[in-house]
Amino acid sequence: MTDVEVQEVGDKIVDVLKTIYDPEIPVDIYELGLIYDVFVNENKEAKILMTLTSPNCPVAETLPVEVEEKVQTLDEIDNADVEITFDPPWSQDMMSEEAKLELGFL
What CATH number did the domain enclosing 24 receive?
3.30.300.130
Cβ atoms of 66 and 58 within 8 Å: the answer is no
In a domain, 96, yes or no: no
Res. 16 pLDDT band, cuts 50 70 90: very high
Q: Are 36 and 47 in contact (CB under 8 A)?
A: no
* Domains held by the chain: number: 1
Q: DSSP assignment, residue 93?
A: G
The pTM of this model reads 0.91
The predicted pLDDT at position 58 comes to: 85
Q: What is the pLDDT of residues 41-72, one digit of tens each?
A: 988 999 999 999 888 888 889 999 999 999 99
Evaluate if residue 1 carries a pLDDT over 80: no
Domain hosting residue 62, numbered range: 3-91
Report the distance separating Cα 76 and Cα 91, nearest Å. 32
In angstroms, rounded to a whole number, what is the distance separating the alpha carbons of residues 93 and 74?
30
pLDDT at position 101 is 92
Arithmetic mean of pLDDT, 66-80: 96
| Largest Cα–Cα separation, the chain | 42
